[in-house]
Chains A and B, each alone.
Chain A
Amino acid sequence: MRSPIGKKVVDIKPSGIRKFFDIVQETEGAISLGVGEPDFDTPWHIRDEGIYSLEKGRTFYTSNSGLKELRVEVSNYIKRTQGVDYDPIKEIFVTVGGSEAIDLALRAMVDPGDEVLIPQPSYVSYEPCAILADATPVIIELKVENEFRLTAQEVLDKITDKTKILILPFPNNPTGAVMGKEDLEAIAKVVVEKDLYVISDEIYSELTYNGKHVSIVSLPGMKERTILINGFSKAYAMTGWRLGYACGPEEIMAQMVKIHQFAIMCAPTTSQYAAIEALKNGDDDVKMMREQYNHRRRYLLNEFERIGLPCFEPNGAFYVFPSIKKFGMSSEEFCTRLLKEEKLAVVPGTAFGDCGEGYIRISYAYSVENLKAAMERLENFISKL
């Protein structure tokens, strides 16, 4: 019998997180700091709008691109946060989470053999999505001495004739790194010079703790070359609603919507109604959550210093990425032993790329009480090493 499985898919490595997940599940009484989603419930007024839309019988498909009212709100939001105008009809469409938009952007833009620059450590899906789109992923290894920011030189070093796309994953999961305006200006210069396109995944844009997020689309000449991806999961604690959006040049959006229309049809209708409410009246909720994340972030950094775990100060997302190099163990070994000996689950840095070796990702999307209990366990573990 011939193999039922396509070769391209078989060759893709399964997510390193999945493997670790299975071990954690078997460990009874484990505390986890391994979650990549907010601990807050979706604010009630947002949920209420979702429920209300169901009551009114809004249970049908929306247009492929999503509800016009939502796209108008997205357009207003980008205008008020980044000062950039997007046409809600032609330049914005609604996706099933930011992750669908990543997949679509790659599929719409690359031909076989085109190279996609992927800075790592970063979210797990860029590389597989690039491969599935028949592109060649080219990894840029971000460095702790740059606080895991991307530099223009690092981009230049990897550019070939085939380079077409640069993925820009900031604020970053798993490092918490943020790109400032000057950092982005240097990147933008290279992008224009080398005629590249940018896929900017800004899903954590609302969660920055040292100044407001700057999007690369706000720099001159970049709107034309950038697919801006964002969504509702992190800012409004709406992960399960599966809702995101992509903004970009009409020409590219049209092709992305084409794939979206055949593969997905449209994003969930209930979620779209809830998202309108989030953008209209959710600013205070975001502010409250951001403040609480910031409290926890400062608490963790202080604890790391106390127990002797080196960590650069991350200014975004809800992760810290301390170095465990001094303990002479691989990330995976450290995490496995921490789980076995102290029943504390954190994610090995290697789950986000090979250059995550020597680091662990700790999420602070947990209550302070939870973090305290976890830090006790981490301290116990480290003191024995």
Chain B
Amino acid sequence: MGIREEILRIIEKNSRIDVHELSVMIGADEIAVANELKTLEEEGVICGYHTMVDWSKTEIEKVNALIEVKVTPQRGLGFDSIAERIYKYPEVTSVYLMSGGFDLMVILEGKSLQEVAGFVNNKLATLDTVLSTATHFILKKYKDHGTILTKKYEDTREIITP
């Protein structure tokens, strides 16, 4: 296994790790690791270094919704052009093409229920190619991006064992 996969596995969980520590942990040369990171960024494999924020623990109100969207694919363009129209809205955080009962899954972040509803009614549903929408509001996030948000890790082991 090359260092690439191991680098990705580590920084996917901890993007703040510095190159030196990363190279120590995977037992590789520091310059090789730095080069690999650069290549990964250039190739777009690494798309960004984000921070996971649990907004519900702040005073700032955020509302998240999942919207199932059925659309009419366009000749020659398939779903891509409609997806692009949708993802250009800054309040849209994710757009996925789905298999199954609907076509696009749109994830939205807004300040309030009204704002999200307004977006769906005024912008999304009125697009020509959109046939229908079904909006689901997220009530509570238990786990996000592999991280459990509702509970902190607690070491319950005995302090010293043979």
Q: Which of B66-74, B86-94, B152-160 contacts A (4 or more CB under 8 A)?
A: B152-160
Q: Closest approach, in angstroms, between the C-beta of B32 and any C-beta of chain A?
A: 15
For the A-B complex, the count of residue pairs with Cβ-Cβ distances under 8 Å equals 52
Contact call B157/A39, Cβ cutoff below 8 A: yes
Question: Which of B20-28, B117-125, B130-138 makes up part of the contact surface?
Answer: B20-28
**B29 touches A (CB below 8 Å):** no
Tell me whether B24 and A298 are in contact (CB under 8 A): yes
Q: Quote the shortest CB–CB distance from A361 to chain B (angstroms).
A: 9
Instruction: Check: A299 CB closer than 8 A to any chain B CB.
Output: yes
B162 within 8 Å of A by Cβ? Answer: yes
Q: Count residues of chain B with CB under 8 A from any CB of chain A.
A: 15
Flag if A37 contacts B6 (CB, 8 Å): no
Q: Does B46 contact A (CB under 8 A)?
A: no
A173 to B43, CA, bound (A): 44
**Contact assessment for B162 and A123 in the assembled complex, using a CB-CB cutoff below 8 Å:** yes
Q: Are B159 and A295 in contact, with the CB atoms below 8 A?
A: no
User: A25 vs B160: C-alpha distance in the bound complex, in angstroms?
Assistant: 9
Selected interface stretch from A14-22, A46-54, A111-119: A14-22
The smallest C-beta distance from A313 to any residue of chain B, in angstroms, reads 11
Closest to A20 in B: B160
Is B145 an interface residue, CB under 8 A from the partner?
Answer: no
Query: Which residues of A are at the interface with B, using a C-beta cutoff of 8 A?
Result: 15, 17, 20-21, 24-25, 30, 32, 34-37, 39, 123-125, 173, 291, 294-296, 298-299, 302, 345, 347, 351, 368
Ranked nearest first, the 6 interchain pairs of A and B with the lowest CB-CB distance are: A34-B160, A295-B25, A21-B160, A36-B161, A302-B24, A32-B159
Chain B contacts to A: CB under 8 angstroms:
6, 9-10, 21, 24-27, 155, 157-162
17 contacts between A and B (CB under 8 A): A15-B162, A21-B158, A21-B159, A24-B160, A34-B159, A34-B161, A35-B157, A35-B159, A39-B157, A123-B162, A173-B162, A294-B27, A296-B25, A298-B24, A298-B25, A299-B21, A299-B25
